[in-house]
Structure 1
Amino acid sequence: MSETVVATPVTTTALCSTYADVTRLRAENPAAIATAWATRAPRPTIRGNGRLMIVAADHPARGALSVGDRPTAMNSRSDLLDRLRTALANPGVDGVLATSDILEDLLLLGALEDKVVFSSMNRGGLAGASFELDDRMTAATAKWTNEAGLNGAKMLCRVDVADAGTLNMMTACAAAVDELAAGGSIAMLEPFLSSRVDGKVRNDLSADAVIKSMHIIQGLGSTSAYTWLKLPVVDEMERVMDATTLPTLLLGGDPQTAPAETFASWERALAIPAVRGLIVGRTLLYPTDDDVTTAVDTAVSLVR
């Protein structure tokens, strides 16, 4: 895909039309970013039939740049932005989840008008680091999320009972749940039971492990009024969803199977009434054939 010019038409609210314009504005008039957030046309999280199709792009801030067998797939920021704008141009895509740097690029390019926007908060657990499970808040804050008028913020919540860093993560996430709720913003929690296998963090994707992680994480904070879950698609999803009454979006994850098999698993899980939609990143943005438009169209057809 192009690395110099945006892939989709720029709306009339865009402050920039090329990536060079974005860099120029960041250097010469950074205060324009706050003004752009203040004047952006937001949208309510729930609209129409209440189903959501969200694209995610917060992987780079954890140093997770690989997709499948492509270790440097997400190296290029302009290529990532091209792919995101292609996805967001589809009227069936409700919005995006990303770190502030990516969100602000999209904002300046006019891609976030009338879109649901989630920030990503805890990116301190760098992929492969000795401190990976001490996943601290190093990205967006709850205060900024509320002030910028975003719909909410997402937190990765990997629980390893053998790693003391888990407690730091839980404590920070609990505080963020409360602060987001005080501002009327969604706290989207992504729980896993995790452990180190041969030095690498692995998530247990058995139904019982996912259920246990849900019970631990959905109890964070003083209130769950604004708490949502982001869950992987695993076997026995009906039993998994019986473990919560919280609104839930399905996690697409890094593609590990053939596209047809992946989409079929999503379709089965989306049939469960408690599931509110999809939040998918690399599977849609970096499909094996690099046809982002078709991958997004397929996912939208499942949600809608």
Structure 2
Amino acid sequence: MSISIPDLVSVRARHPEAIAEAAARRVRRPLVGDSGRLLIVAADHPARGALGVGDRRLAMADRADLLERLCVALSRPGVDGVLGTADILEDLLLLGALENKVVMGSMNRGGLAGAAFELDDRFTGYRAQDIARLRFDAAKTLTRIDYDDPGSLTTLEATARAVDACAEHRLPVFVEPFVSRRVDGRVHNDLSAEAVTKSIAIAAGLGGTSAYTWLKLPVTDEPDDMAQVLETSTLPVVLLGGEVGGSVEEQAGAYARWRKALRLPTVQGMVVGRSLLYPAGGSVETAVDTAVGLL
């Protein structure tokens, strides 16, 4: 039986077993449903200390508000599931919001936003065995590669082992690769066609098998290059929504880029977070319904 958001603390304090019980009885669905497309709402940002949306630096720090937004998004027709860390997914489990949804566990959150060790992105979240034990449906890794930072090698090795572990459990794993670099002390992802092409080639080869590997990729700076970029691999792809500017015009521009890339043959859908949960204009419902329409 589901509960309400104000009851979460009480249940966690008095009956922590409720989480495993909710996971055991959750009604599951195939990863790819009848539409053949995927729309996943992402909410794994807080665990990396990335709480800002636009000029609101702590927008995602209000957990009750975030959960309300997630429940609204998951209730909309055409939304297939959610990506999150254990704290968020377990709240949603208790709220009864994950029935017949794809549940994707975020694995590495150790590369905290703005930290000196950001690119040494340790696997501090879900393990493959956790995702399998809870009967969740897929895993996700963030794999940023800076040729000047030795920490990237640690991340690559850990990602390869995570791919292996997921394959042992027959769990799809969505690898999100970037070629990155530091500019004035901050990590920036290179979205040029050449950089995204290299990131695909590197990520697709990680691990002892690619049978369960998907790629989670950004649209390049020049959207017209995406068709050639995606020729780098035969792995299925979902588009990364990424952070969209704070204006309605910037959001509309992002939708136009996604619409074009979604026509490409290896693209199976999208994973989008803040731009749907905290839209520049309008409601969560409107933003989500617009994204569904792109598919």
TM-score by length of 1: 0.93
- Pick the aligned partner of 1:174 from 160, 167, 173: 160
Deviation per CA, 1:40-68: give whole Å up to 9, x if none: 10111011131001100000000001112
How far 1:290 sits from its partner (Å)?
Answer: 5.0
Q: For 2:158 and 2:293, locate their aligned partners in 1 and report how far apart those are by CA, in whole Å.
A: 37
**Match of 1:128?**
114
Q: For 2:44 and 2:269, locate their aligned partners in 1 and report how far apart those are by CA, in whole Å.
A: 19
Deviation per CA, 1:95-135: give whole Å up to 9, x if none: 00000110000000000000001000100000000000000
Q: For 1:290 and 1:143, locate their aligned partners in 2 and report how far apart those are by CA, in whole Å.
A: 40
- Pick the aligned partner of 1:274 from 260, 263, 266: 266
Q: For 1:255 and 1:69, locate their aligned partners in 2 and report how far apart those are by CA, in whole Å.
A: 12
AA aligned to 1:297 is D
Q: For 2:281 and 2:228, locate their aligned partners in 1 and report how far apart those are by CA, in whole Å.
A: 34
Q: For 1:274 and 1:19, locate their aligned partners in 2 and report how far apart those are by CA, in whole Å.
A: 39
Answer yes or no: is 1:80 the counterpart of 2:55. Answer: no
**Matched residues, number:** 289
How far 1:147 sits from its partner (Å)?
Answer: 1.3
Answer yes or no: is 1:292 the counterpart of 2:292. Answer: no
* 1:242 counterpart SS class: helix
Answer yes or no: is 1:153 the counterpart of 2:139. Answer: yes
**Match of 1:10?**
none
Q: For 1:295 and 1:124, locate their aligned partners in 2 and report how far apart those are by CA, in whole Å.
A: 30
More helix by share: 2
AA aligned to 2:216 is K
AA aligned to 2:187 is V
* 1:112 counterpart SS class: coil
* 2:268 counterpart SS class: strand
Q: For 1:60 and 1:244, locate their aligned partners in 2 and report how far apart those are by CA, in whole Å.
A: 31
Structure 1 residues without counterparts, runs of 5 or longer:
1-12
AA aligned to 1:197 is V
Between 1:288-297 and 1:84-93, the stretch displaced more is 288-297
Answer yes or no: is 1:119 the counterpart of 2:105. Answer: yes
Structure 2 residues without counterparts, runs of 5 or longer:
none
* 1:163 counterpart SS class: coil
Q: For 2:263 and 2:173, locate their aligned partners in 1 and report how far apart those are by CA, in whole Å.
A: 24
How far 1:32 sits from its partner (Å)?
Answer: 1.3
Q: For 1:272 and 1:215, locate their aligned partners in 2 and report how far apart those are by CA, in whole Å.
A: 18
AA aligned to 1:164 is P
How far 1:208 sits from its partner (Å)?
Answer: 0.6
- Pick the aligned partner of 1:101 from 87, 94, 113: 87
Q: For 1:255 and 1:67, locate their aligned partners in 2 and report how far apart those are by CA, in whole Å.
A: 9
Q: For 1:21 and 1:68, locate their aligned partners in 2 and report how far apart those are by CA, in whole Å.
A: 30
Q: For 1:128 and 1:251, locate their aligned partners in 2 and report how far apart those are by CA, in whole Å.
A: 21
Please identify runs of 4+ aligned residues in structure 1 that moved more than 6 A. Answer: none
Q: For 2:86 and 2:28, locate their aligned partners in 1 and report how far apart those are by CA, in whole Å.
A: 16
Q: For 1:75 and 1:25, locate their aligned partners in 2 and report how far apart those are by CA, in whole Å.
A: 21
AA aligned to 1:129 is A
* 1:229 counterpart SS class: strand
**Match of 1:186?**
172
AA aligned to 2:133 is E
AA aligned to 2:107 is M
Q: Superposed, which structure 2 residues align to 1:1-304 within 5 Å?
A: 13-14=1-2, 16=3, 18-234=4-220, 235=222, 236-256=225-245, 258-289=250-281, 291-303=283-295
AA aligned to 1:113 is E
Paired-residue identity, %: 56
Between 1:225-234 and 1:63-72, the stretch displaced more is 63-72
